[in-house]
Amino acid sequence: MKYGQFILAIFFASVALTAKAATSAEQATTKLIVSNYAKTKYPIVFNHGMAGFISIGTDQFGLDYFYQILPDLARNGANTWATRVSPLNSTEVRGEQLAQQVEEILALTGAQKVNLVGHSHGGPTIRYVAGVLPERVASLTAVGAPNKGSPVADLILKAEGTVVEAPLVGIVNLVSKMITWAQGLDPNSYPHDTLAGGNSLSLKGSAQFNSKFRLGMPTTSCDEGPYQQQGIYFYSFTGVGAITNALDPDSALKATSLLIDQGKDNDGLVSRCSARFGKTIRDNYHWNHLDEVNQVLGLRDVFAPDPVDVYRQHANRLKLQGL
């Protein structure tokens, strides 16, 4: 039990490091637009992963989940939005919350569709929105997303049904509430359900979700998925590193990486094959799970691509596709 608790602590501490908030989406704004390189036809809407947020802290000293990424896109002409859903809950609950925010963004901008980008649990979450609102979605981009689940979630769920389940779930639900509180919100303003979140990201739970939401998903074990269905374009990219900078706190992901394919081909939480979805832009960046959103505070391998650059280039890809 002590080992399970240790893994659980590493898992949530690592993800939580990657996040002000209101009751819905927030637009990234900038006083200086330097180019139209990233100016897409439709707004780009970002969704955080498990234990995520829009930003934590004050306006002057806040930590954005997608660190430095949205402001850079805004400087290059993009209309970008960050969304907030329950830090810990099922994909369906998070998806309904995101769908409401998509409708709000469309009403505010007058756009007909959005380009959705989801990191980690945000990947299945944006896929849910495409399933229920396909006419509102221009593209989906899944980043380090456990589309076929993660063995880490299965390990955590081993506590289910044991004597430690109730106290463990209570502690992690408290963490979820603290993340909400740290964004300046009532901790009870979002529903928190650790077991529902874990089950959604388990291998079995992901398979059940995929049977209902097939858009963009590969038909073989480790292949690309369809590039386009129902007028929606699909993309993905991910990393395959664990320790990418010895000074970075996210090096703790090395422990969880060993639980996936003997430590091979994964970003510390999600395997390369599980992350593949739609057109795979690249599935071997020297990034770990937090590097994928430029965390913690931009620390990464000195020779690895800058995530800010990669997202800017992807926005240009969407622009050139007419999205």
Closest C-alpha among 14, 292, 295 to residue 175: 14
CA–chain centroid gap for 48, Å, is 4
> What's the rounded Cα separation, in Å, for the pair 314 and 212?
28
Residue 82: C-alpha distances to residues 32, 248, 255, 307 (Å): 19, 24, 30, 17
Instruction: List all residues 6 or more positions away from 130 whose beta carbon is below 8 Å from its beta carbon.
Output: 116, 137, 140, 213, 215, 216, 232
Instruction: List all residues 6 or more positions away from 89 whose beta carbon is below 8 Å from its beta carbon.
Output: 190, 191, 192, 193, 196, 197
113-149 burial by CB neighbour count: b if 16+ within 10 A, else e?
Answer: bbbbbbbbbbbbbbbbbbbebeebbbbbbbbbbbbbb
Determine contact, residues 117/78, Cβ cutoff 8 Å: no
- For residue 3, the tally of other CB atoms under 10 A from its CB is 8
Residue type, 78: A
Query: What positions carry a catalytic annotation?
Result: 120, 267, 289
